[in-house]
Amino acid sequence: MRRNLNMKSLPLGKTIVINPSVEPDTMDLPEPASVVRKKITGLGDRVERIAQPIARVIDRVAGTNIQGCGACQKRKEYLNKKFPIT
């Protein structure tokens, strides 16, 4: 599914001024958010990284709530106990 963002391409060297009352050099920009990755402790964490995006897509398309059922968390815990990564 493509979203129409109403964006137009600009020729090279052109800039867009979002707030013309503030100079671009003096704007207070927020610090970039740091990416925090959860530590992988076992096979369950690896499976979760693959399965969660797939579940999100299924939930959006089909209108279900696969992510909230709790089975994924149980599977993750079981696999982490049986197959830890050290």
37 part of a folded domain: no
Is there a domain that residue 31 lies in? Answer: no
CB 80 within 8 A of CB 43: yes
For the cut 90, the answer to whether the pLDDT of residue 20 exceeds it is no
Is residue 67 domain-resident?
A: yes
Does the residue 1 lie in any domain?
no
Helices (H), 9-82: 43-62, 71-82
Band (pLDDT 50/70/90 cuts) for residue 36 is confident
- Asked whether residue 54 is domain-assigned, the answer is yes
**What domain range includes position 57?**
43-82
Above 80 in pLDDT, residue 86? no
Q: How many domains does the chain have?
A: 1
pLDDT at residue 27 tops 90: no
Domain assignment present for residue 8? The answer is: no
